[in-house]
Structure 1
Amino acid sequence: MTAADEKGYTPACTPACELCGEETGGRYLCERHAVQLAKRLDDLPVLYTEVGQCLVPRRYGWGEIVATKSAAGPRSPLDEDVLDTVNVTRAAEVIRLWRLDVQRVRWPRHGAPAPAPLAADCRWLAMELDWIVQHYPGAGDLAREVRELELQARTIVGDPAPRPQRLGTCVAVDSDGVVCGAVISRLPGQTRLTCRWCGYTYESERDLLMLLHFQPKEAA
């Protein structure tokens, strides 16, 4: 057994990018495709949040219900064919499987990571991207599947996708009295906001007013 085997991986030996064939000096992805993969991993959680907004009737502002598409007769507001194939649950499952496999290859003696939302798994993969590009034989397939998830989402939300509006920082307080402080943003029409860091959810108009009221003075 080699030293590389003991660490759970073998060094990259491919001479070219698995997506375009460009010489990479032994990396599985060229710099251009590595950068694209990093951006897609960063964009996926936002895209699939917007997918969820598109597949259900929107609520505009903080309480007023408005229609997003015309409908004839008592049809369901959900496009069930789309819902079956393009949704955040499926995207989260796909990304979770990639995270599990990358961890299996890199740290074969580690147990499976705790369940996490799509954003957390995308962030984990992005943080490991340098290693993935250098050592992970599935890097090309990972890049292809992430791109496919992005394309599927964009068929729903449009291109370019709506960008989030920054509202401020999370004002939730933990059991020790420490304010979270993570950035809180929302997409157009989104009314239920969940802090990606601490998990606190802002649901009502009162929650929004509280969020805005307790922003640091310099932010205001």
Structure 2
Amino acid sequence: MNDCGLCGDEPGRYLCEQHTVRLAKQLDELPALYAEVGECLVPRQASWGEIIATKGAAGPRSPLDEDLLDTITWNRAAEVMHLWRVDVQRERWPLHGAPAPAGLAADCRWLAMELEWIVAHYAAAGELAREVRELEGPARRVVGDPAPRPQQLGTCVAVTDPRAGTVCGTEIRRLPGQTRVRCRGCGYVYATALDWARLQHFQPAV
């Protein structure tokens, strides 16, 4: 009988409830976390491929371990997560071809949507969770803990009833570095500069 690949608890599942919840959270936050890593690091002038911190060490940010920095890149995270998506899809739908590269955010979102199947049927679920944790840890040391907090940007201004002039009004939040947000209320996607400008312009006067 299968049990949690990380702690051995909860027979019948490859990840227990606690580790499933944690993995779901990590998959949701990983793209924004690596976007912030990109803002913290820039190429050095001394030699090709080296990177340094661009933000000061004040506040919660920790000193950087430069021996690890070459592994903390968006491209590596995207490659690792895409390989997991390919393997999960191969196990679940063996007759389907491998998915085309879609980017870190898309692959994390796909894996999150398949998480219920993964924890119940995917024998490597524990290894997936462990590798996501290994991607998260060094990145957290660069950007600092706690995790980046969502920024409250206002309320959704998408029109939900043109005849009545009704707007959605759901609170809109995004993580640092996040450029695409789907409203939880009406489903409108804020993705372009015009979307963000309109959101800001039509906020109710305080």
TM-score, length-normalised on structure 1? Answer: 0.65
Structure 1 unaligned spans of 5+: 1-12, 58-66, 71-78, 173-180
**What is the number of residues matched between the two proteins?**
172
Task: Return the offset for 1:49.
Answer: 1.6
Runs of 4+ with >3 A deviation: 79-83, 168-172, 181-184, 196-202, 206-211
In 2, Cα distance between the equivalents of 1:182 and 1:99? Answer: 31
In the other structure, the counterpart of 2:151 is: 165
* SS in structure 2 of the partner of residue 166 of structure 1: strand
Label 1:159 to 1:196 Cα distance change in 2 as closer, same or farther (>3 A): same
Name the % identity: 63
Q: 2:180 aligns with which of 192, 195, 198?
A: 195
Task: Return the offset for 1:114.
Answer: 3.5
State yes or no: 1:114 paired with 2:114.
no
- Aligned pairs for 1:40-55 within 5 A: 40-55=26-41
- Aligned pairs for 1:1-220 within 5 A: 13-14=1-2, 16-22=3-9, 24-56=10-42, 68-69=55-56, 82-168=68-154, 183=172, 185-187=174-176, 194-195=179-180, 200-202=191-193, 209-214=197-202
How large is the Cα RMSD of the aligned pairs? 3.3
Whether the 8 Å contact between 1:119 and 1:196 is mirrored in structure 2 is: no
Structure 2 unaligned spans of 5+: 44-53, 58-64, 159-169, 183-188
Task: Return the offset for 1:104.
Answer: 0.4
Whether the 8 Å contact between 1:17 and 1:28 is mirrored in structure 2 is: yes
Label 1:148 to 1:183 Cα distance change in 2 as closer, same or farther (>3 A): same
In 2, Cα distance between the equivalents of 1:80 and 1:199? Answer: 36
In 1, Cα distance between the equivalents of 2:155 and 2:173? Answer: 5
In 2, Cα distance between the equivalents of 1:210 and 1:156? Answer: 33
Label 1:55 to 1:82 Cα distance change in 2 as closer, same or farther (>3 A): farther
In 1, Cα distance between the equivalents of 2:201 and 2:175? Answer: 17
Label 1:170 to 1:49 Cα distance change in 2 as closer, same or farther (>3 A): farther
TM-score, length-normalised on structure 2? Answer: 0.69
Whether the 8 Å contact between 2:6 and 2:15 is mirrored in structure 1 is: yes
Whether the 8 Å contact between 2:81 and 2:107 is mirrored in structure 1 is: yes
